[in-house]
Each structure stands twice: as structure tokens, then as C-alpha cells.
Structure 1
Amino acid sequence: MWNCWILGLLFTMPLMAIAGATEPTKHVVCYQGTWSTYRPKEGKFGVEDIDPFLCTHLVYAFLGIQESGELRVIDPYLDLEDNGGLGNIKKFNALKLKNPTLRTLLAVGGWNEGSKRFSIVANDPEKRSRFVEQVVQFIQRHGFDGLDLDWEYPGQRHNLNENNDRENYVALLKELKAGLNPFGYILSAAVGSAEFSASISYDIPAISEYLDIINVMAYDLHGPWDESVAINAPLYAGANDTTQRAQQLNVDAVIKYWIDSGAPPEKLMLGVPFYGRTFTLASAEGHMPGALHIGRGIAGPYSREPGVLGYNELCELFQREQWTLSWEPMQQVPFAFRERQWVGYENTNSLMLKAQYAMEHKLGGIMIWSLESDDFRGCCGGESFPLLRSINRVLFGRDNPTGLAAEMQQPAAATQSGDGVADSYCRDTNGYVRDPNNCSKFYYCNGGASFMFDCPSGLVFDTNTNNCNYADLVEC
């Protein structure tokens, strides 16, 4: 079994960086809500709509968990190839063939999965062990680079008071790390943000020891559950934030709490929303933050959830209807209103400010929830993925982490691969080509451009799998 796992690791190891590409110094962790493939019309977002060059890490959301500790595939028809399924997971991980620097993570959990089953599993050593085994085998089988644990939230949303979720969460992470580490797999987690909630769920120094990436969900800080209208993810506190609790509900307070509590800044990803929270105002005259409301606002044509509008839905709405667009200067976020409808959201300006904040506080990068809510088709008159690109420009000085997309559109030239053989091969083909004189060397051809790779020492390129493999298993 161990030999099979190690061999599988080599098959799924990220390929060497493309010559001339810059390894990103920050992370851009992008979730895809896979159910978005069922959205109607221009809102439909499938794996084929993902630009694999715009993120450093892609997260497949979600799989579930059973009380036994086994993984639960929520949508087998979408996720798997069995019984004529669509094979979404295979397509998702195949994006690494386009961008070999990309990392893919499997997310387990999410808001709809709840907290109870996680609590039951984490409280039982045998079930924890089964969960770890299931996770490692699933990652190995499907070619992910790691796990994103999305338990929302330890110690909350269930009545299992006899379970010590806070300590059990640490034990679960410790055992997951032990199971994933021999294969070089990444362990990340999506975590709650504000102090009054996070202090219930997390022993921050303890979980930081085992997590490679901590995705801080610094959004949903305000919404229709509040008495008055407020913006989803303000960067700083506002004039109406007069109580101790209210002063915790902004990005600056969240990040400072996590750092002051012992989280290494370089492991923290500042989570940002690509959607807004909508309200129905009590009066059309009261439209500033702090105005009274009577509940959730309108739903969008794609997400179809009252109280939520994706940025793609918002920007199209602003084109069709006459909304008043405003900026909250203290909180450094936009809001908009029309008659009795009100929304606090993000735009390119507010997200660039958040990215700059991440740079100034030496955070590990930015986490995005989620890709399908960006203007991914460029329907609002500009470029595709404008929100994501604006973040990248701050973090990397260009609109993607590696610069690969721009390079791969250039004509083939010796400066790219440094190899005339590769250039001649790539004039007539696309995809991977093994060097005819050196089996450990191969090239990626795309539209006439060529990029050179070298397999790790002792391995050669396997043309059957398009991965590096043991030499004695490859016909060379």
C-alpha cells in the first residue's frame, strides 16, 4: 500500500516551474462553488470557465463528511465519472496541465454541511483515523494537492455540548497533518473571523502549528441579521460601530486579532467576498449605513438567493437600472441603493485596498469566495475576472501570479525554451512533447510557444500519463 501511495504521489507531483516564469511570493486561494455549473444563462460557471493562470491555489467546494468519518460525495453525477457522470473533479485537476505551478485543494464541509457531523467525528479517535485515511486516499486517487477543512464552526451551531470541539479540532488537524505530510500534501482550513466567534472555536497557536494555510473568512461581518444596514466586509470600523462587539466586525480588527493571538501572518489568507449583502430598507429616504431595514433584499438571476448578489449580477444590474453608487470613506467599501433596495459589496477599488492591506501586514495572500461571482465573462464592458485581476495587480504587479498566460501567447522563440528542437516540435503540435534525446526533459507547446521542463532527479517523462514517473516503468 505504501509503495502505491508513494508512486501516486510522484504521478500527482506538480511539474517543475516553466522556464522564465516567476514563482509567486503570495498566495491567491480561489474557491469554486461547484453548484454554479447549474446556474442559468450567463451565470453558468463550470470548470471550463476557470482561468488557471489567475490563482495560485484552486479549491474544489465541497465534499461532505459522514458521522462514521467517511467522506460523502455530495453530487456524484457532477463530481465523478462513474455511471456516466460528468467527471468534474478530473477536469478540475486537469487544469494543472495548463498551468503546472497551480495547486488544487479538496474542500470538505461548508456552511450547508453544518457542524454536528464534524463534532461527532472529531470526538472519536477511531472516526478521526478513518476520516484521515479517506481524505488521503481520495486526494491520491483524484490528483489533488491537499485538503481544505471547512468546519463551520467548532463549538457552534449544534447541541453536542459534551464534545470539546475546540480541543478536538486541534487533534483532528494534528492527525490530518500526520497523514498528509509524508506525501507533501497541503493542509489548509477555512476559519471564522471575528474575535467573539473565533475565540469559541479555535486555539489559534495550536491550529497554526498544523495548518499550512489559514483562510480567514473576513466577510459576512454584516447582513440582514443585523438591525440596520451595514456593509458585508468593511476594511475598518465605521461611525456606527460604537459597541465592543461592533468594533470587532471589520477586516482590520479580524486580522489583528488573529495575529495578536499567535497566528503567523505568512500563513493567513485574507478572505474577501465577490458578492454583496442586500437589504430592503424600511424607508426609501433612509439609505446611509445604519438605516433601518425590514429584511433581505432582492435575489440575483444567477445565484437566486434573496439577500445576496454576486458582483457579476450587481454590475449587470447597475447597467440596466439607475442605482446610486456611493463610497463609505471610513470603512473603505462601496454601497449602492435604489428606492428601497440597498447593497453593501466589493468593487475593484475596495479589493485593491484589501490586497494592499495584506501586503502591508505581511500576510500570506488573499482568499476569494468565490470565482463564479466575479464578472468572469467580462459582460460589464471590461476584461474578464476584473475583481481577481485587480487583486493580482497589487500582490504581483501584474494581473496573474506567474505571468504564464502572457508568456504563452507569445510566438515561439529560443528565449522561451532555449531549445530549437522544442521550437520545431511546437510549430506542429499542442500539449506535452518529450525530448527525443533526453527522456527526463519535456516541453509544453501552446499555440506555437514552447516551454522547457526537467523531471525531478531519477524520474523520466511518461507520455502515457503526461507526468514524471519511475524510469523502469516508462518506455524510453
Structure 2
Amino acid sequence: MGRKILIALLVNCLLWELVSAATDKVVCYHGSWSKYRSGNGQFTVNDIDPNLCTHLIYSFVGINTDGSILLLDSTLDVNNANFANFNALKTRNAALKTLVAVGGWGEGSTKYSAVAASATSRATFIQSALNLVQTYGFDGFDIDWEYPAQRGGAAADVQNYATLIKEFRTVFDKHGLLLTAAVAATPGSVDQSYDVPALSKYLDIINVMAYDIHASWDGVTGQNAPLYASSIDTTASAKLLNVNASISGWISRGADPQKLALGLGVYGRSFTLSNSAISGLGAPVSGAGNSGPYTLEAGMLGYNEICEAQLAGGWTTVWDDEQKVPYSFKGDQWIGYDNPRSIAIKASIILFIVNYAKSLNLGGVMIWSIETEDFRGICGSKYPILNAIKSALGTANENIEENVNDDTGGNDDASSGGGTAVDDGNDTPVGDETVVDDGTASGGTGGVTCTQAGYIRDPADCNKFYYCLLVGSSYQPLAQQCNSNLYFDLESQTCNWPQLVSGC
């Protein structure tokens, strides 16, 4: 009895620690140029729902060669009060944090490399950023240098960037301001560009851009943001081109997982097939896909453009169960993208992608970018991607909280919890493959047996599930239970509709 009480206390202490650091950040970038888009694609600050994001980042400003901030669209930002209206969103959500981002793909790397190399230019950059943030009421500053030591940069950028953010941190701490950055995702690019421990030490949030992993430049079709490698990824380098390898790579290189935000692309990468009769993953392509009516960029389609095109009919959508993302094709056009189902899977695993028992949960998720959501609800409800994130993260955090109040140490008394997972209704039910190691369970009188960390489903009752937590030298099953009309889905790590759950 004494040992059981001790285990229960240890479990509760660990779970309270997890709750206090539970994933809660939803970082949303806003591309201000979407104000100039046509028709249903035109997006203004007034279209933002400030209650779906915890952090909103206004994109972009640039820099001059001396390091001072350059307003890339002063008419929109200042004269038309876009900065002011953006920060006024905090009146509708007092907990919301707003930031302004510098850089982006279009700004390149050359100027940033030169500024970071000079102590005088770094000081100018930091002071100019501070003035901008304080003048317009932002809560912080985001650095989107794409990328140090690449695209015209120099090898010294790695150390100079670390020095830059250290100096930013010193100044911003005096004013209680946030400092974040958008960073490359794949291991090869990370090794080329960053001193990971330094970024982890000085930044509040590291927004990992885990998208653009495959596109038409590959010469074959590929997923924009595959969660895992595909069976056609046979080389060592190809096996690292996925979200899981990217996040794991950041952690193994010294990043604090609680500072990482998993970047989710609210858009797809499109391709033109060389032969419309060959339309699977890895099919040869002749180039980028057709541009959409709003984004007007070949090879890229916003989620709103994708879903509106599918409403018109004629598209075939396939669920890629290896990589946990869909793709669609019609004629010679092929799109790899995320939908609410794949987003929910990615969001729901971020608490558990690393060792749960040691509280190494990620800090949150990030989306690029809010204006390519279905923000008008043309294809259904408004903001389906962000609502899928909210649902998945809410369910995950509720599951942790439910266990804090369960002092049984892992017996069969299950607490009520769970929630509904989001599915778009267009995909077939998922298979038995799990997102995280599910351990093994054996049924029998008195409960289940855990052999490793992870979720397992009750072998006799799909409504019940357990988290296997390492306590001392053994794994203890923490009992949980879905709402009465739901089953636990090992695929999405959430409670789901029974007809969408395999193996039950």
C-alpha cells in the first residue's frame, strides 16, 4: 500500500509539472500584403479572430544597410493604421501577444549577414527595432533571417547571429519584451545556419518552419510537410526530409523543446505532372503547378484556394497514411498540403513527441499564415485549420489535467475526458500505425501491462486508453476514458468518432 501511494504521489508531481508547462502557444503569422488580394482572398486585420492565436506576428519589415528598420509598406503600415489596428486586437483578447517580424524570403540574407558582422550595425538594428516595437505597441520582435550562412551569407553568420540575439536579449529584457525567430527546419540546413544552444538560450520562441520540405524543384511530386518519411525515401538524406526528423533534430542539437513551436503550413505546394496518368507520390513533374486566384504564385496554393478548387469538383484526394498528410490531383495538377485532419494529428502529438515522463513537451505550434486559411468559411466553418489545432491541443492538455486528479496510480478507475477530433469527412479511416510508440498492452484481470512510454488502448474496450509513464524503473498505466460516444484513436492520439477508428 505504501509503495502504491508513493507511486501515485510521484505520478501526480510529474503531471503537475507537465500541466504547468503544457503546450499552449499558437503562433500565427500574418502577411500584410494579403490586403491587396482580390475577391474572397482579400484579407485585412479585421478578418483576424484574435481568440484563435496566443501570439500574432505582423509580417514583414526590412532593414537598411546600416541596420535601421525599413518599412516595406509605410502607406499600409502607418498611414492606413495597419500597425495600430493589428495591436488593437488585444482589446478583444487581453492575453494576446503581438509581435512584428523582420526579414522573410524576399529580403534575402546579404544585408543581414553584413549587419550581424558589425557591432555598430547590430546596435543600430536593436535600437531601431526597440523604437518600432515601443512606438506602435507591439509586445516583441521576430527575426526571420532566411538564412544565416546561406543565400549570400557567410560562414561567420552562425556566430554573428548568436551574438546578435544575445545583444537583443540584453536590451529587450530591460523592457519586458519578447524575442522570437523563424528558423529553418531540416537538419542539414540547421547545421549550416545556427548555433542551436545559443538560440535556445536567448529566444523566447523558436518557430520551426517545418514546411516547403518538398516542392516542384525536386522534379517529382512530394508532400509540402510530411510528418514522417515515405517508403520511397530510401537514402539517408531523404529520410531526414520530414517534420518528425526536423523537430527531433532541433532537440538533439540542444534546443529546449518548450521553446520550440512546430510550424504548420496553411497552404500546399503544387506541381504540373509530366504524365497525368502517373499521379502518385514521386511522380515526375514538368514544373510548378498553376497559380491560384488569390496568391498568384506558381507552385503554391493557399488552403482556401485548395478547398475552393475542390468544391468545384473533379479532384481526387488521397490520404497518405505513411506521411499522415493528404494529396490531391486533377488532370496534370497535383497538390501536397495539410488539411484539418493532418493538422490535428501534428498538433496532438507535440506534447508527446519526446519523452513524456521527463516533461520534454514542445512549446506550441506556429502557422504560416493566417490569411490563407478558409477565413471566410467558404468551404464550411470559418478557420477550420486553427480550430483543428485548438481542438487537438485542448484535448491533449485536458488529458494531462484529468490525470492530475487521478490518485489511483494506474488502476482501472478511468476519469472522464477526451473530446472530438476534427476530420474533413473526405478521407478514409486511418490505419493502426501510431504517431508515438504505443507500447504493448496485455489484457487481463486488473488492467493492462505497459512495457514502454506512450499511449495504449484498452484491448477490451476502445473507449478506454492509458498513458504508460515511467516511474522509477517501471512503467505505470494512467487510466483515461473518452466521452461515451467516442473511441480512442491511436493514429491521431485523440478521442474520435467510432467510424474513423481502425481496429475497434
TM-score over 0.5 for the pair? yes
Does residue 176 of the first structure (1) align with residue 168 of the second (2)? yes
Tell whether the 8 Å contact from 1:230 to 1:290 is kept in structure 2 after alignment: yes
Task: State how far apart, in whole Å, the 2-side matches of 1:38 and 1:174 are.
Answer: 37
2:321 is matched with 329
Tell whether the 8 Å contact from 2:41 to 2:294 is kept in structure 1 after alignment: yes
Q: How does 1:277-426 map to 2 (within 5 A)?
A: 277-361=269-353, 362-380=361-379, 382-397=380-395
Q: How does 1:62-461 map to 2 (within 5 A)?
A: 62-80=60-78, 85-158=79-152, 160-161=153-154, 164-361=156-353, 362-380=361-379, 382-397=380-395
- What are the superposed Cα offsets for residues 101-158 of structure 1, whole Å, 9 maximum, x if unpaired? 0000110000001100100100000000011111111101110000110000000000
Task: State how far apart, in whole Å, the 2-side matches of 1:164 and 1:39 are.
Answer: 39
Instruction: Mark the CA change 1:239 to 1:25 in structure 2 (over 3 Å): closer, same or farther.
Output: closer
Tell whether the 8 Å contact from 2:226 to 2:243 is kept in structure 1 after alignment: yes
1:429 is matched with none
Tell whether the 8 Å contact from 2:279 to 2:329 is kept in structure 1 after alignment: yes
Displacement after TM superposition at 1:23 (Å): 11
- What are the superposed Cα offsets for residues 352-376 of structure 1, whole Å, 9 maximum, x if unpaired? 0100121213110100000001100
Task: State how far apart, in whole Å, the 2-side matches of 1:358 and 1:61 are.
Answer: 25
Tell whether the 8 Å contact from 2:23 to 2:362 is kept in structure 1 after alignment: no
SS of 2:114's equivalent?
Answer: helix
Q: What is the letter of the counterpart of residue 64 of structure 1?
A: G
Q: What is the letter of the counterpart of residue 394 of structure 1?
A: A
Task: State how far apart, in whole Å, the 1-side matches of 2:21 and 2:211 are.
Answer: 29
Displacement after TM superposition at 1:347 (Å): 0.4
Q: What is the letter of the counterpart of residue 363 of structure 1?
A: L
Tell whether the 8 Å contact from 1:109 to 1:150 is kept in structure 2 after alignment: yes
Tell whether the 8 Å contact from 1:375 to 1:385 is kept in structure 2 after alignment: yes
- What are the superposed Cα offsets for residues 378-428 of structure 1, whole Å, 9 maximum, x if unpaired? 001x210000110011112499xxxxxxxxxxxxxxxxxxxxxxxxxxxxx
Q: What is the letter of the counterpart of residue 173 of structure 1?
A: I
1:14 is matched with none
Tell whether the 8 Å contact from 1:392 to 1:398 is kept in structure 2 after alignment: no
Q: What is the letter of the counterpart of residue 107 of structure 1?
A: A
- What are the superposed Cα offsets for residues 145-193 of structure 1, whole Å, 9 maximum, x if unpaired? 00110000000000x54x6100000000001111111111001000001
SS of 2:215's equivalent?
Answer: coil
Task: State how far apart, in whole Å, the 1-side matches of 2:142 and 2:262 are.
Answer: 15
Identity of paired residues, percent? 48
Displacement after TM superposition at 1:321 (Å): 2.7
Q: Which runs of 5+ in 2 are unaligned?
A: 1-19, 354-360, 398-504
Q: How does 1:26-45 map to 2 (within 5 A)?
A: 26-45=24-43
Q: Which runs of 5+ in 1 are unaligned?
A: 1-21, 400-476
- What are the superposed Cα offsets for residues 208-247 of structure 1, whole Å, 9 maximum, x if unpaired? 1100100000000000110211010000000111112111
SS of 2:164's equivalent?
Answer: helix
Task: State how far apart, in whole Å, the 2-side matches of 1:215 and 1:23 are.
Answer: 17
Task: State how far apart, in whole Å, the 1-side matches of 2:207 and 2:234 are.
Answer: 28
Tell whether the 8 Å contact from 2:22 to 2:351 is kept in structure 1 after alignment: no
Displacement after TM superposition at 1:25 (Å): 4.7
Q: TM-score, normalised by structure 1?
A: 0.77
Q: How does 1:43-54 map to 2 (within 5 A)?
A: 43-54=41-52
Task: State how far apart, in whole Å, the 1-side matches of 2:374 and 2:107 are.
Answer: 27
Q: What is the letter of the counterpart of residue 373 of structure 1?
A: T
Task: State how far apart, in whole Å, the 2-side matches of 1:165 and 1:248 are.
Answer: 24
1:446 is matched with none
SS of 1:360's equivalent?
Answer: coil
2:424 is matched with none
Task: State how far apart, in whole Å, the 1-side matches of 2:192 and 2:215 are.
Answer: 21
Task: State how far apart, in whole Å, the 2-side matches of 1:121 and 1:201 are.
Answer: 16
Tell whether the 8 Å contact from 2:196 to 2:253 is kept in structure 1 after alignment: yes
SS of 2:317's equivalent?
Answer: strand
Tell whether the 8 Å contact from 1:24 to 1:396 is kept in structure 2 after alignment: no
Tell whether the 8 Å contact from 1:232 to 1:345 is kept in structure 2 after alignment: yes
